[in-house]
Every structure is written in structure tokens, then in C-alpha cells.
Amino acid sequence: MKKIIILTALVSAMSLPALAQSSATDAAVVKVEQDNAKIKHENHEIKQDAKEVSSDKRALTEERKERNLIQAKEDKAVKTGDTEKAANLEQRREHEQKEVNEDRKELNTDKAELHKDKAKRSRTKQKRNKDAAKIQ
């Protein structure tokens, strides 16, 4: 009976390192899966940010077109000597210029956010690759 208990204990002790290595591998696989999910989420954020940047570019272009059209009308009014109309157009143009400035700031903010998200995704990919190397 004592021999059976001792042999069982020996076999258990020999298989213990294999179990520890198996659980470490399982933990590394879980980390890689979590990193992959995080990368997928970050890819979605990057796509959304890219759409925002594109939308902001279009809005900025439209605001600039409006401002330039008002500027042309203002110049024409000045040439014809209609100072009252020119003054009204100048106020409208200044308002449009403020909108252009706001759109440009928003565009720059969105570009910075896009850049940060890409850097964050890159760091996550590096972490995932390190975790994946531990599996092998």
C-alpha cells in the first residue's frame, strides 16, 4: 500500500511541471485573444475617425467656397460703389471665416485623434506579438 502511494506521489510530481506549462500556455493564448479583440475594436475606432476627418475636410471645403463667393460679391459691390451692400457682405464673410476657422480646428483635432488611435493600435499589436511568441 505504501509503495502505491509513493508511486502515485512520484507520478503526480512528475506531471506537475507539464500542468504548469500547460496553464501558462493557456494564459498566453487568452492574452493573445484579448489583444486581438482589442485590435479589432481599435480598427473600428480608426475607421470612425477617418470618416470624421473626411467629413470635416468636405465641410471645410464647403465653408471656404461660401466665404470665397461672399468675398467675390463684396468685391463687386465695392467696385460698383454700393458701400452698404459691401458692409453687409463683409459681416457675412467674417462670419463665414469664423466657421472656416472652427472647421479647421475640428479637422486638426480629429487628425490628432486618428494619429493617437493608430499609435495605440500599433502598441497593442506589439504586445500581442510578444504574447504570441510566448505560446511557441
The answer to whether the Cα torsion of 84, 85, 87, 88 is positive or negative is positive
87 domain-assigned: yes
> Number of structural domains, the chain?
1
Smallest CA-to-CA distance from 74 within 62, 84, 61 is with 84
Going from the first residue of the chain to its last (136 residues), give the mean pLDDT of each consecutive group of 10, the final group possibly shorter: 52 49 74 90 94 94 94 93 92 94 94 94 91 81
Where helices occur in the chain by DSSP H, the ranges are 2-80, 83-135
Q: Do the Cβ atoms of 55 and 110 come closer than 8 Å?
A: no
Task: List the domain range (segments joined by +) for residue 56.
Answer: 46-136
Q: Is residue 16 part of a domain?
A: no
Q: Which of 109, 128, 123 is nearest to 30 (CA)?
A: 128
In a domain, 30, yes or no: no
Amino acid (1-letter code) at residue 116? K
Q: What is the pLDDT of residue 32?
A: 87
Let me know if residue 132 belongs to a domain. yes
